[in-house]
């Protein structure tokens, strides 16, 4: 009987040339009647690999995981019949694989011999039997020139093949490729069979069910390939190998390799499914732990770091995580793009805690993509470790994946750094205390949401809230009853025109005025250049880089802090003002805000305020009657721009973006659009 013909590509859903039709599948399955006996297939496969590697040294029979033992320490047990089955297969292969024999009949005979065994044992025992026969053949071939006994056996059983080694090279190459392919498929079958006992995946559902549906077909082609290899070896003994037989091995190697690709893809999907379920299980466990009242914070910290029990302290010495027990702890969470400015500002707050008599610690938790980790990221991680002055993880993979999932989904981390506050009992006081640390520093300790809310209730909207920490001379100017103007933008022509016109207005009214340039968000190099020109031309005062960066981050922190407490622009004046300032900065033009010690304030975009200053003659008398700021406000309110296009650009921050935003110019709701931007200077 000839080997069965695989189904045609038109019949095969995946166009696989190794699949059979239903009738042949049923014939193979009909030989399968397992009785529950168990064979230690992993150990048998290990010994089989070692035999074959001794014969073909350059063969790639790698094995991973728990089946990669280094020594042969396995004996087949006679109790389960495996030893007897192995001997029978050896005999069947030796007797039936002479040239011209029926390969399919021999394959089916081996199926019938192994009917009581599971599919995986059929494959492994047949491969082991082939290794025994091939090993015996090779031992005699290797020893017959030096060992008298081997020489005598060779004279009776097989000729010396060493003098024909070059002639037979192509046959050994074909054998090697097919053996490699068989071994790869066998490992897949072993691993898939092991998954049947996993609680994380069901054998009755894809992808495991789709993989197991082809195990019998894969088993057939492995046994058929063993028969073909044995026929080839028999041909070597008899010197009757022909090119067609070497071609048959190559054809089988192609089929078996295709089977391996198919099973390996399903195995990978199985592992992905298992990893997903394990991740969900660990996520739910961590969620329960962090939401359950604890005696101290150690259980939470141990869950975050898993097996990693050591941290690097501020002196870069390894310490046990227990040193943070019963302390207030801030979890600083960021990726590797956390800026030097963010580190520097937080470092100032952290160092001030000692003089403030506060007992809290910060741990840096870097969120990294393990799949893309390389030398560049390793160097960046090490550099950040070296400049951070608080506790850090010792390894980039220290944080458990389930914790990273929780950080993203529950605490809203996306890209901007956050600081989660834990009290000494491990309770989360605030999902992001970084905003209040930027705004109020250590006075906001213990950095709880309640403390943040109380600060907002006590703080009215004044320029001191925005500029007080950054402009040391502000109290002096206010006490001198000067008008204070803070302005921004990156168009030098507008800056020069605005400062010149405003100075002229102040001189005409005989009032003192102080003007300060505060730059623009995310335009470091342009702002640095403009700052130099402003100082060179003595147009006004101008902040240095650090103050510019902090000012704009302070505005964003105020906005996110308000969002965190559910404030809307309709019911919160501070949020309205902050968003107006951010809208001005997002526009292409400049902007200005004027302030007096009496609390009077007016602001406008650059085009409106410059136009109004240029037309000072129209409202000069009003300014002399009402005062500069009230008159300017009244004049600006009367200016109706022909056209305006106001933008507000906010960095993505884990979904905490305001749903409704009013235009700073006309008060109408603004449209929400998505903007993807790369701004590398």
Kindly state the tokens that stand for 521. 């968000």
Domain co-membership, 249 together with 375: no
Residue 59 has pLDDT above 70, yes or no: no
Domain co-membership, 394 together with 265: no
Domain co-membership, 149 together with 185: yes
3-state SS assignment for residue 82: helix
Domain co-membership, 224 together with 104: yes
Residue 681 lies in a domain: no
Burial label for 265, CB within 10 Å (0-12, 13-18, 19+), is middle
Q: Per-residue pLDDT tens for 13-57?
A: 344 666 766 788 888 889 999 888 888 888 888 889 888 888 877
Residue 163 has pLDDT above 80, yes or no: no
CA angle 626, 627, 630 (to 5 degrees): 75
**pLDDT at 13 (0 to 100):** 39
Domain co-membership, 450 together with 471: no
How far apart CA 230 and CA 238 sit, in angstroms, is 12
Question: Considering all CA atoms of the chain, what is the largest pairwise distance in Å, rounded to the nearest integer?
Answer: 127
Range of the domain at 439: 297-458
Residue 6 lies in a domain: no
Residue 585 has pLDDT above 50, yes or no: yes
What are the CA-CA distances from residue 569 to residues 536, 575, 577, 646 (Å)?
40, 6, 9, 17
Residue 283 lies in a domain: no
Other beta carbons less than 10 A from residue 216's beta carbon: 18
Domain co-membership, 481 together with 583: yes
The length of the chain in residues reads: 681
**pLDDT at 212 (0 to 100):** 87
Domain co-membership, 528 together with 453: no
Kindly state the tokens that stand for 116. 């009581």
Residue 10 lies in a domain: no
Residue 591 lies in a domain: yes
CATH number assigned to the domain comprising residue 451: 3.40.30.10
How far apart CA 30 and CA 626 sit, in angstroms, is 103
Domain co-membership, 480 together with 431: no
Residue 676 lies in a domain: no
**pLDDT at 655 (0 to 100):** 46
Phi, psi of 61 (to 5 degrees): -110, 55
Domain co-membership, 377 together with 261: no
How far apart CA 69 and CA 90 sit, in angstroms, is 25
Domain co-membership, 583 together with 654: yes
3-state SS assignment for residue 391: strand
Of the residues 242, 277, 312, the one at which a domain ends: 277
**pLDDT at 69 (0 to 100):** 45
**pLDDT at 68 (0 to 100):** 46
Residue 4 lies in a domain: no
- Look at residues 91, 82, 79, 89 and name the one whose alpha carbon lies nearest to residue 121: 82
Number of domains the chain contains:
3
Domain co-membership, 609 together with 588: yes
Averaged pLDDT score across all residues of the chain: 83
Q: Per-residue pLDDT tens for 440-477?
A: 899 999 999 999 989 888 877 677 777 878 888 888 99
3-state SS assignment for residue 604: strand
Q: Per-residue pLDDT tens for 315-371?
A: 889 999 999 999 999 999 999 999 988 999 999 999 999 888 898 999 999 999 888
Residue with tokens 């003595």, as numbered in its chain: 538
Q: Per-residue pLDDT tens for 651-677?
A: 555 445 555 666 655 556 666 655 545
Domain co-membership, 197 together with 326: no
Residue 112 lies in a domain: yes
Of the residues 244, 277, 310, the one at which a domain ends: 277
Using left for φ > 0, alpha for ψ between -120 and 50, and beta otherwise, residue 565 falls in: alpha
Of the residues 458, 481, 512, the one at which a domain ends: 458
Share of the chain above pLDDT 70, in %: 80
């Amino acid at each position: 009987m000839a080997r069965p013909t695989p189904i045609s590509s038109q019949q095969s859903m995946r166009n696989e040339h190794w699949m059979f039709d239903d009738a042949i599948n049923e014939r193979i399955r009909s030989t399968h009647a397992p009785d529950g006996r168990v064979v230690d297939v992993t150990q048998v496969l290990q010994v089989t690999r070692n035999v074959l590697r001794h014969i073909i040294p350059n063969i790639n029979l790698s094995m991973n995981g728990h089946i990669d033992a280094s020594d042969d320490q396995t004996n087949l047990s006679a109790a389960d019949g495996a030893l007897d089955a192995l001997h029978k297969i050896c005999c069947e292969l030796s007797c039936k694989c002479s040239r011209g024999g029926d390969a399919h009949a021999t394959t089916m005979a081996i199926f019938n011999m192994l009917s009581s065994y599971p599919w995986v044992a059929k494959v492994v025992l047949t491969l082991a039997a082939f290794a025994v026969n091939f090993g015996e053949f090779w031992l005699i071939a290797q020893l017959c020139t030096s060992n008298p006994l081997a020489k005598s056996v060779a004279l009776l059983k097989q000729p010396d093949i060493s003098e024909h080694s070059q002639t037979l090279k192509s046959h050994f190459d074909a054998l090697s490729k097919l053996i490699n392919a068989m071994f790869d498929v066998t490992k897949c079958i072993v691993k898939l069979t092991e998954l049947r006992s996993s609680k994380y995946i069901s054998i009755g559902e894809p992808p495991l069910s789709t993989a197991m549906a082809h195990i019998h077909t894969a088993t057939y082609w492995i046994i058929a390939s063993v028969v073909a290899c044995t026929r080839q070896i028999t041909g070597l003994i008899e010197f009757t190998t022909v090119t067609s037989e070497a071609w048959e091995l190559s054809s089988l190697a192609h089929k078996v390799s295709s089977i391996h690709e198919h099973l390996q893809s399903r195995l990978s999907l199985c592992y992905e499914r298992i990893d997903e379920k394990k991740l969900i299980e660990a996520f739910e466990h961590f969620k329960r732990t962090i939401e359950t009242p604890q005696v101290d914070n150690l259980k939470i910290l141990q869950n975050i770091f898993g097996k990693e029990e050591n941290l690097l302290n501020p002196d870069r010495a390894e310490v046990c995580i227990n040193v943070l027990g019963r302390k207030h702890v801030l979890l600083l969470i960021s990726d590797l793009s956390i800026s030097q400015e963010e580190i520097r500002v937080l470092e100032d707050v952290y160092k001030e805690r000692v003089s403030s008599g506060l007992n809290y610690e910060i741990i840096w938790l870097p969120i990294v993509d393990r799949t893309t980790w390389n030398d560049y990221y390793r160097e960046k991680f090490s550099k950040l470790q070296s400049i951070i002055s608080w506790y850090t993880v010792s390894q980039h993979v220290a944080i458990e994946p389930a914790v990273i999932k929780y950080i993203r989904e529950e605490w809203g981390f996306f890209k901007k750094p956050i600081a989660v506050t834990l009290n000494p009992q491990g309770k989360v006081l605030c999902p992001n205390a970084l905003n209040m640390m930027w705004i109020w520093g250590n006075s906001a300790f213990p950095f709880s949401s309640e403390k943040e809310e109380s600060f907002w209730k006590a703080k009215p909207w004044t320029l001191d809230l925005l500029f007080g920490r950054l402009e040391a001379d502000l109290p002096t100017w206010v006490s001198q009853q000067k008008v204070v103007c803070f302005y921004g933008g990156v168009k030098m022509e507008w800056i020069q025109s605005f400062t010149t016109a405003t100075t002229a207005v102040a001189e005409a009214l005989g009032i003192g005025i102080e003007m300060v340039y505060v730059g623009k968000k995310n335009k470091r190099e342009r702002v640095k250049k403009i700052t130099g020109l402003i100082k060179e031309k003595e147009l006004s005062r101008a902040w240095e880089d650090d103050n510019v960066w902090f000012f704009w981050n302070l505005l964003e922190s105020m906005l996110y802090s308000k969002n965190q407490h559910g404030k809307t622009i309709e019911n919160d004046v501070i949020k309205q003002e902050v968003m107006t300032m951010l809208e001005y900065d997002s526009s292409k033009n400049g902007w200005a805000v004027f302030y007096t010690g009496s609390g009077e304030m007016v602001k406008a975009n650059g085009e409106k305020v410059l136009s109004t200053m240029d037309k000072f003659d129209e409202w000069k008398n009003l300014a002399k009657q009402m005062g500069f700021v009230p008159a300017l406000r009244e004049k600006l309110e009367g200016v109706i721009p022909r056209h305006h296009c106001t933008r507000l650009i906010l960095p993505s921050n884990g979904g905490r973006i305001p749903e409704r935003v009013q235009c700073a110019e006309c008060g109408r709701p603004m449209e929400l659009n998505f903007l993807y931007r790369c701004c590398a200077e």
